[in-house]
Amino acid sequence: MRSFFCAIILLAVSACASEEGGRTNSPVTVVAEPVEFLEEEQVVEAIGTARAARSAQLFSEVSGRVTAVRFKPGQYVRQGQVLVQLDNRQERLALQLAQVRVREAEQLLARYRRIEDTGALSDSQIEAGETALSAAKIERDQAAVALAQRRIRAPFSGHISFSEIDPGDTVTPQTLIAQLDQRGRLFVDFAAPEAVFNRLGTGRTVDVSAFSDPDTIISARVDAVDSAIEQEQRSYQVRTVIDNSGDRFRPGMSFSVRFVDSGQKRPSVPEAAVVWDGDGSAIFTVQDGKAERTPVTISSRREGMVLLDAAIDEQTLVITEGVQKVRTGQEVAIVDAPQRDPAKVQVADKEKTVTAR
């Protein structure tokens, strides 16, 4: 009887061992999908400052007392419009005197011409008359310039700023009258990192949005880039142009700038397909029905997906589900993958976002 029970126990142990061995050697059910290649993206984010396409600080060319201020703060003024009038009484008198001297010189030279053929005058006297007339005209023109300098005019059309000048004030060439801005177009200048110098240049576009209106995204064209790299910050200045015909923005406003650059195509897999062990990150691919560990380096991330730096091609099958159950060389049984929404084109890996300092 004892021998009979021992035999039964031995048979049971053998059956269990046989079942366990069968489970070890049987294929593991996994989901595997062909690898997808996506373009790697690099994002530049910076803060830009707006300036008017044309801007000028207005100063008087001469010293004098203000007799009239002919503009209001924020007013749109035309090119050549008189903005400030200085006391010009002496200059008007000087111009009148110069005009009288011109007429006298003209009359004297005319008399010389009438008797020139009689021989009563020498050639030197005629030349002296001509010289006197030329000098009188120069004095007249100088007086006209001095009179014109008593009026401060708009050098171009645009909007004028606040001013601290009032009638009765005395101004000098160092006194700021006002600032004039032509803001139908605005330049948005920002610093870009040296790493994108060859990709972010003239003709490219960036997205800008004013801090005062962050929901409005404007496509701005790069108008110019600086000729040198700033050594300490390792950045360079970029100038973009935006249309401001609606007069929504003002010079000096801050703008958020974003530039997305598409790079080389890289293999991408769901985040769940990447495993980590003592040797680093890896994925499991399917080769000849067996799982094979393939080392990878994560280049960037998108929502739910990772872009890889790895030696794999478009025909490679990557295990996306069940990866924790497989080992190198283990046979796998592939089942259909569940439906999954495509990855959104939004870079989330902060290591690939370059922010200008």
Collapsing DSSP to helix, strand or coil, 305 comes out as: strand
Q: For residues 357 and 354, give the distance between their C-alpha atoms in angstroms, rounded to a whole number.
A: 9
Q: Is 232 part of any domain?
A: yes
Q: Are residues 127 and 165 in the same domain?
A: no
Structure tokens at 315: 């025909």
Residues 6+ apart with CB under 8 A from 197: 225, 229, 236
Beta strands (DSSP E) in 60-81 are: 64-69, 76-77
pLDDT digits 0-9 by tens, 274-284: 888 888 888 88
Q: How far is CA 134 from the centre of its chain?
A: 56
Answer yes or no: is pLDDT of 5 > 70.
no
- Residue 334: the pLDDT is 80
Q: Are residues 93 and 122 in the same domain?
A: yes
Q: Is 12 part of any domain?
A: no
- % of the chain exceeding 90 in pLDDT: 47
Total of domains in the chain: 4
CATH of residue 249:
2.40.30.170
Q: Are residues 168 and 187 in the same domain?
A: no
Residue corresponding to tokens 């409005």: 216
Question: Using 50, 70 and 90 to split pLDDT, how confident is the model at 164?
Answer: very high
CA-CA-CA-CA dihedral for 133, 137, 143, 147, to nearest 10: 150
Q: 298: number of CA atoms within 13 Å, CB side?
A: 22
Q: Are residues 48 and 190 in the same domain?
A: yes
- Residue 22: the pLDDT is 42
Least confident piece of the model among 172-176, 256-260, 322-326, 348-352:
348-352
Q: How far is CA 70 from CA 85, 163, 190, 197, in A?
A: 8, 11, 36, 47
Domain boundary among 262, 292, 326: 262
- % of the chain exceeding 70 in pLDDT: 85
- Residue 304: the pLDDT is 79
CATH of residue 318:
2.40.420.20
Phi, psi of 13 (to 5 degrees): -65, -40
Q: Is 19 part of any domain?
A: no
Q: Are residues 243 and 191 in the same domain?
A: yes
- Residue 58: the pLDDT is 96
Answer yes or no: is pLDDT of 13 > 70.
no
pLDDT digits 0-9 by tens, 28-63: 888 888 888 877 677 889 999 999 999 999 999 999
Instruction: Report the chain's mean pLDDT, rounded to a whole number.
Output: 83
Q: For residues 356 and 349, give the distance between their C-alpha atoms in angstroms, rounded to a whole number.
A: 16
Q: Is 15 part of any domain?
A: no
More confident residue, 23 or 249: 249
The whole domain housing 169 covers 64-84+154-174
Q: Are residues 272 and 346 in the same domain?
A: yes
